[in-house]
Structure 1
């Protein structure tokens, strides 16, 4: 039997259409949207931080809003980048484990040239789950941008427990609440790893508190 190779671009486009159709069945509610849509905030090119397991409803909910996403250099990342392009997002390839610094520099360049904010799954690409890594903080400091925490809380979802992030797929016709936190500007931690760790833990606390507001 001859196997016909399927390109990541084709898979990503197909995935995007599936996500669109799925999203049409969801009841999406947004909390504190005014902060996220504020033109003054957009002009400051914010770094949007998400949890990796909550991205499914967030991608179609923000289609066409001219933002860039940091996507891993894995094969799965190729498919995700193609899907994101279908929704109007730009992609910056790299992660904390592969090409991390190159990705941050590339993201800063896109922010400067396109005048856009960047979306960052702060616990990706391999976890630990719901633990903030320093990448988003480095980028925010590099670009002089505020950090905006965003959560997606699903009323009913299929949880993939074997995945490192326990990825959540909302059931059709379920409710998804998207909560936007206020912009955060943190002091420069310098070369102090303890201060950087404190800032990461502070952001984790904010993300956890947002989830309780759904």
Structure 2
């Protein structure tokens, strides 16, 4: 029988368990950053993610009432496709092969992996910010990206752009996409994609939605939104709100279709 004086207390037992876990945690912390910076690891992850996106798209047939993206692009090309953060994961999978699409990604480290995935699915990519308060307040990276996208549109290519600002107010368009429409003369086309099987990450700032395979899907396109070259700050703000409203309505319709409502 064990002597009570020498028996380990619950606190000591808990400390031993924690100590046993520490080497693994420390090891993970040491290897995590180098792995995250490894080009090889990023490419491998991007390949796996691109394959998963293709699988999800192919196993989610479009429901009746879903819009024809190819026809819309034929009618409005070159155009600026607008999507929301957290609702864009299947965006690269609906890349119409007939038209070249260039996608804008932020300059953050997190967006680098997303850009690699898009490239593996046939997109060209441009890195930069979407802009928060208009041309005068766009950072150098964002301004450079807008110039590059404008030149891309001038070559006849379509552009895909996330309308809301990274880690800003979700599902509220920024002025960056409106500025691009103004300087290019091309329309913004709201695009929403939804699947019946999905997982919403409630704790993320944008309520990121992970689309799952073996369900049904819908693609909804809003009416094209044009911005005149002489648009002043008041008009730009009106157009920003119009993009927000149209994209939210397209998103609502897409989920209504796949959920059978």
Fold shared, TM-score > 0.5 on shorter chain: yes
- CA apart distance, 1:57: 2.0
Residue 57 of structure 1: aligned partner: 90
Q: Provide the aligned length of Structure 1 versus Structure 2.
A: 210
The structure with the largest strand share of the pair is 1
Worse-superposed segment, 156-165 or 55-64: 55-64
The structure with the largest helix share of the pair is 2
When normalised by structure 1's length, the TM-score is 0.86
Q: 1:189 & 1:144 partners in 2: Cα distance?
A: 11
Residue 180 of structure 1: aligned partner: 221
1:57–1:176 Cα contact (<8 Å) kept: no
* SS class of match (1:27): coil
When normalised by structure 2's length, the TM-score is 0.72
The structure with the largest alpha-carbon Rg is 2
Note the aligned Cα RMSD (angstroms).
2.3
Unmatched segments (≥5 aa) in structure 1: none
Cα deviations by residue, 1:52-87 (Å, 9 ceiling, x for unpaired): 111122221226342000011111221111111111
- Decide which of 51, 72, 78 is 1:17's aligned counterpart: 51
Cα 1:31–1:76 change in 2 (3 A) is same
1:157–1:170 Cα contact (<8 Å) kept: yes
**Which aligned pairs between 1:76-115 and structure 2 lie closer than 5 A?**
76-96=110-130, 99-113=141-155, 115=156
2:185–2:227 Cα contact (<8 Å) kept: no
Is 1:200 the counterpart of 2:235? The answer is: no
Q: 1:168 & 1:17 partners in 2: Cα distance?
A: 18
- CA apart distance, 1:196: 2.2
Q: 2:100 & 2:154 partners in 1: Cα distance?
A: 13
- Decide which of 68, 86, 103 is 1:69's aligned counterpart: 103
